[in-house]
């Protein structure tokens, strides 16, 4: 256990499958567990989206700074020879 009282258990998909099966025998608790799993997936996706946004912004910022210093991070493509 960590300081917050939670234990890292790895992938939640196997646990989710058990709760999907348990909807028949104990629908109330299975529903609660599935709602919590769904909430966790929502938070994880939001974190991934935020990280991608930050990385995109950092890349744009780096390109702007490099251009201001006269550097070209991605060379421009040469036009194809005619003919």
Q: Where are the domains of the chain?
A: 13-68
In whole angstroms, what separates CA 52 from the centre of its chain?
8
Q: Digits of tens for pLDDT over the chain (83 positions)?
A: 456 777 666 777 788 888 899 999 999 999 999 999 889 889 889 988 988 888 888 878 877 887 787 777 666 667 777 76
Tokens linked to 4: 């917050």
Q: How far lies 16's CA from each of 20, 32, 35, 37, in Å?
A: 6, 11, 10, 7
Model-wide pTM > 0.85: no
From residue 52, give the alpha-carbon distance in Å to each of 42, 63, 64, 70, 82.
15, 17, 18, 27, 40
């Amino acid at each position: 256990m960590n300081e917050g009282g939670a234990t890292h258990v790895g992938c939640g998909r196997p646990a989710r499958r058990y709760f999907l099966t348990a909807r028949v025998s104990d629908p109330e608790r299975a529903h609660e567990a599935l709602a919590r799993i769904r909430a966790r997936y929502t938070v994880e996706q939001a974190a991934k989206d935020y990280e991608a946004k930050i990385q995109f912004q950092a890349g744009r910022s780096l390109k702007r700074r490099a251009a201001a210093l006269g550097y070209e991070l991605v060379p421009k493509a040469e036009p194809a020879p005619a003919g």
